[in-house]
Structure 1
Amino acid sequence: MRRTTRTAEDLRALAAVARGEAPADLYLAGGRVLNVYSGEVLEANVAVARGRVAYVGRRRTMVGEPTTVLDVTGRLLVPGYFDPHCHPGAMYTPVTLAEAVLPRGTVAAVADTLFPLVYADPARLEPVLQDLSRLPFHYYWFLRLHAQAPLPEEAERFAPDRLERLLHLEPVRTAGEVTRWPLLQAGDPRLTELVAAALAAGRRVEGHAPGVGWERLQALVAAGVSSDHEAITAEQALDRLRAGLYVMLRHSSLRGDLPALAAVASSARAFSGRLMLTPDGPDATFVVDHGYMDAVIRQALLAGVDPVAAYQMATLNPATYYGLDEELGGIAPGRLADLNVLVDLRDPTPERVIAGGRLVAEEGRLIAPIEAPEWVSAFPRRYAPTWRPDPSLFAPPRGAAIALHLQNAVITRRRDLTLSDGPPPGVQVLTLLAPDGRWVARALLSGFADRLGGLACTYTVGGGMAVAGDDPHDMAAAARRALELGGGVVAVEDGQVRLELPLPIGGLMSPEPLPRLAARVRELSAFLRARGYRHEDPTYTLFFLSFDSLPDLRLTALGVWDARAGRVLVPREER
């Protein structure tokens, strides 16, 4: 695993500029530099050549005729931000996310491979990961070791020989996140072998241990986990630090945890190098309204985290953790010239963004369009009107029935009902359908909406289309329309389509720019809130209905799944 991509030619050219014997390509004059290595703010100019920093200091001897001089007098230069735990498929795509967050100062991310592993053409997976890593926005990857819900194709897509080969791709920096942590803690042979292979390849192992206390943490760390991002209190974060884990402090649309977590980033711990910041896959509305890593840094500052420490947690710390500090995370000779021009430390949203030594954004606007490789066709169409969902698929059960009751946006509790004449008010029929209609899993859903004609959603981790509602005919119409769109979210009432959010890329992602996607997500949220949805984020509720590691019950491709017991309560029906 390489720590830098610098060549001998790069080294000679950069050193010549630093000595003042060759002209810089770009010279940032008159500003101050946040030195994240020493924790100081210094008066300094920055010279750039070959897309990298060549010099930081007071001299101007490398300014020549071909040098572009950018006056940053009165401004502060900080390193470009680095998200250590990114989900670039929260209805948006890796490319549209990069286009939205680069102008806000985020230049790099270690991103999830779940969707490519499961749904991309296997023959094109490696080229897609490699190509996306070459954008002006630096994508690195965390390699999933298992699915997030039982899937028919899981054994093939997560075969050990396939994963071990992918672990050696240069952009893959870590394995995980290990959401099935109870298996790893209990010594599951397959998962333990994969973690061992990741460690042997020099990769980190990302944990996912919500609510796990001190005693169980010991076994997880002993089993090879390197970090965790699921702490929701300062006490939980401190337990993870004490256990030897690196800790990612999370703040975004689903969980705004930083005000509670900030206390762990005090005194010497703030500068330990073991803390990082992440937005952990916010929805499009959060990014458009608040920003990305800049928004998380701002929350850290508001919560009282030392400003230098807050910026280190979003730059140097993740770069060092992933072995990329020779490339990213600081402003120093040899590093990639990815930096942000700020008014001061109190406002992390940049006036200008420089990536690869080029000015790419000003005043929140991308001025150098991202030339993305063709990657969308690697995701074959999964949903098509090759079959016709019938209202009989969505008929309510009679007699004893199990409901998934939403305690919050993602946690469910079991609710046992006895039905004689349909579900009571506020309880909907819930189904999960195979994309080709070959199977159906059935349950009830409560705590989601007071009333709902029919809602179809292909944005799930369960490998199928979730359909919820009160009216079987509206549910069937919504499912049919989602198939016609190639995937997405569709709401139908009284036989009429009331809302559409197309997700044609794998039934999971939209190619639309984030502002347009955010407008559609707001429309969906407003529609559901008007019908009684009262939790934080409806898109994540729909997405996680099949997530097999969240308590208590899930609706999966196997049927109704008891996450605590690890077994199927009601099997799916074959059609």
Structure 2
Amino acid sequence: MRVGGPGGTAGDMDAAGDAERRRLVRVARGQEPGDLLIRGAQVVQPATREIFEADVLVAGGRVAAVGASLQARRVVEARGAYLAPGFIDGHVHIESSLLTPAGFAQAVLPRGTTGVVAEPHELVNVLGPRGLEWMLEAGAASGLRVWASAPSCVPASEFETGGARVGAAEIARMLRVPGVLGLAEMMNYPGVLGGDEGVWSVLEAGRAAGRRLDGHASGVRGRDLQAYAAAGLHSDHEATTPEEATERLRAGLWLMVREGSAARNLEALLPVLRGRPRRAMLVSDDVSVDELLELGHLDRLLRMCVAGGLHPADAVGLVTCNPAEYWGLHDAGLVAPGYLADFVLLRDLVGFGVLETFVGGREAAAGGPSPALGGGGVALGERWPAATFDIPASWPVIQVHGEQITTGVGAPGTGDARLVIADRYGRGEWSACWTSGTGLSGGTLGISVLHDAHHAAFLGGSDADIRAAGQALEELGGGAVLIAGGQVRARLPLPYAGLMSDRPPQEVASALRQITDAARALGCVLPYPVTTLSFLGLTVIPALKLTPAGLLDVHAWTLLGTADTQAEHLR
């Protein structure tokens, strides 16, 4: 897989002009040669649940014909390899990989991913609408096809204050940006169910634009789920059990089955997928760079599906024509005449080993440097050098689960590591509580990637180590650090808004691995400590979460204690 050169962009999805379509027809009829012929492939056709031998003819970046005795100026011999549509991730936060779009493309193009629908609410929470515009600009130069959805919850709830606040008017403008396909996940389900005027004005902006309204209803069941769907939402990726998944499908919601670094739901939901539901897809949501390189992207999910009993064509449909249909990408997701020539040559349909990835009829190539992006560093305030982080003995404990982003509620006194969340936008506010289940002791893990407001988060350690970790993050301009005994044991700079690195994926993964190894040496048992820590402040995911303002009971939708009451209690 070479780096550099042209790749697919969001703009390429514009309908082909009359001249291009007329030429495509002539090529299909054999009146003139095509540009590229993939000869002797086993074509995977999820629309008919078939795998059949055929040649595939390409002209002008689109498939002209699928058949035999076709002619082109250039021929690639498939020699019986499987030709599947290029994989599309229908819901992913590129920022969670810790890579810019160019780096993300380097990691996933060799795995067969040709397009993603990015949900850039990480960037938008830090920088406002210009974060979405940057994501599309950087995506257009990445070599991937990068579309986007317009973030609906900035901040995610009234309990969060990040670097930006985006209302219905700004969202309406974002929905008009070329390459934006719909309204991103509506996480504030209490606001939807409770009739919050701000939330409903955002939904109305999405409806007025005639776009998809992406859902996000963690733990919502029964009449509340019916009400959430009745509000006009179209999908959900928060199902964790077969019962939840089936309930969502019956409610008319598209089922996005999530398998990422922080939340792994595919294995549990395989029984539902084996039933071949009409409206389902696979998504990664949040996936870390080290997992992308070690385990794969959508190719890994396909391996899991086939091993779990799905027909290969059904599995492929979950990452091709299904997400394309959901998002209205009418020319993507199949190897068929008129469709974009985004496809992947596979060694087999068990391991899904990729031989070559094509975008727009060309061998895929990741793009060059990302455009500049200013702002979004770390400023903890003038009180930070003398900060202390005591916790009231009566406060409950956040129970951390290594492979889910939901948390439990532990009894007071059962914690084993402190969690501190500090405002990183200069407002000088922080709060602390106890956690259990991380195993970390004797050091501090500090990050500036904290969904979704992206404050600074610190796990474990003495006051001195937490303060040192904060200072290190300020000096880096954002990133991740591991401090022990006042010394930096490992670090990863993330200069793009404190969220992403422009270094090659292997280099970023190596630095992240050093942080993980250093944390494990200090007792941490989390498979992906940075990713798991990054979700302990997300206020729309049950059951307990911490913000700079205090500890939140998500089910009760109320702060159990605030930073002010914490300080008062300790005086």
TM > 0.5 fold call: yes
The answer to whether residue 330 in structure 2 is matched with residue 370 in structure 1 is no
Cα pair 2:206 2:212 within 8 Å, conserved: yes
The answer to whether residue 198 in structure 2 is matched with residue 190 in structure 1 is yes
Cα pair 2:380 2:470 within 8 Å, conserved: no
The answer to whether residue 152 in structure 2 is matched with residue 162 in structure 1 is no
User: After the TM superposition, which residues 123-522 of structure 1 pair with which residues of structure 2 at under 5 Å, given as runs?
Assistant: 125-126=132-133, 128-130=135-137, 132-133=139-140, 135-146=142-153, 147-148=155-156, 150-152=159-161, 157-266=165-274, 269-270=275-276, 272-326=277-331, 328-360=332-364, 368-371=365-368, 374=371, 377-383=372-378, 389-390=384-385, 392-397=386-391, 400=393, 402=395, 404-409=397-402, 410-414=405-409, 417=412, 426-428=416-418, 430-436=420-426, 438-461=428-451, 462-522=453-513
1:46 to 37, 41, 56: 56
- The alpha-carbon deviation at position 503 of structure 1 amounts to 1.5
- The alpha-carbon deviation at position 70 of structure 1 amounts to 0.8
The amino acid that maps onto 2:57 is A
Aligned-residue identity in percent: 32
The answer to whether residue 549 in structure 2 is matched with residue 558 in structure 1 is yes
Cα pair 2:101 2:142 within 8 Å, conserved: no
Q: Is the partner of 2:317 in helix, strand or coil?
A: helix
Change (3 A) 1:153 1:299: closer
Change (3 A) 1:351 1:233: same
Cα pair 1:433 1:441 within 8 Å, conserved: no
Cα pair 1:435 1:465 within 8 Å, conserved: no
In structure 2, runs of 5+ residues without a counterpart are 1-9
Cα pair 1:429 1:445 within 8 Å, conserved: yes
- The alpha-carbon deviation at position 499 of structure 1 amounts to 1.6
Paired residues, what number? 550
- The alpha-carbon deviation at position 417 of structure 1 amounts to 4.8
The amino acid that maps onto 2:422 is L
Aligned-residue RMSD, C-alpha: 2.7
Larger mean Cα displacement after TM superposition, 277-286 or 466-475: 466-475
Cα pair 1:145 1:176 within 8 Å, conserved: yes
Cα displacement string for residues 298-345 of structure 1 (whole angstroms, at most 9, x for unaligned residues): 10101101211111111111111111132x100111111111111232
Structure-1 separation of matches of 2:135 and 2:487: 39
Structure-2 separation of matches of 1:163 and 1:533: 40
Cα displacement string for residues 52-75 of structure 1 (whole angstroms, at most 9, x for unaligned residues): 111211123x33xxx111111221
Q: Is the partner of 1:402 in helix, strand or coil?
A: coil
Structure-1 separation of matches of 2:284 and 2:310: 17
Q: Is the partner of 2:249 in helix, strand or coil?
A: helix
Residue 365 of structure 1 is matched in structure 2 by: none
Q: Is the partner of 1:108 in helix, strand or coil?
A: strand
Change (3 A) 1:128 1:458: closer
Normalising to structure 2: TM-score of the pair? 0.89
Cα displacement string for residues 501-522 of structure 1 (whole angstroms, at most 9, x for unaligned residues): 2222111212222222222222
Cα pair 2:389 2:420 within 8 Å, conserved: no
2:21 to 11, 31, 50: 11
Cα pair 1:440 1:573 within 8 Å, conserved: no
- The alpha-carbon deviation at position 554 of structure 1 amounts to 2.0
Cα displacement string for residues 220-279 of structure 1 (whole angstroms, at most 9, x for unaligned residues): 11011101111122222111111111111222333332222111123xx41x53111122
Cα displacement string for residues 88-107 of structure 1 (whole angstroms, at most 9, x for unaligned residues): 01122222111110111000
Cα pair 2:445 2:519 within 8 Å, conserved: no
Change (3 A) 1:244 1:122: closer
In structure 1, runs of 5+ residues without a counterpart are 361-367, 419-423
Cα displacement string for residues 405-426 of structure 1 (whole angstroms, at most 9, x for unaligned residues): 22413444455658xxxxx982
Q: Is the partner of 1:175 in helix, strand or coil?
A: strand
Structure-2 separation of matches of 1:250 and 1:434: 29
Change (3 A) 1:83 1:565: same
Q: Is the partner of 1:555 in helix, strand or coil?
A: strand
- The alpha-carbon deviation at position 459 of structure 1 amounts to 1.4
Larger mean Cα displacement after TM superposition, 460-469 or 115-124: 115-124
Residue 364 of structure 1 is matched in structure 2 by: none
Cα pair 1:33 1:76 within 8 Å, conserved: yes
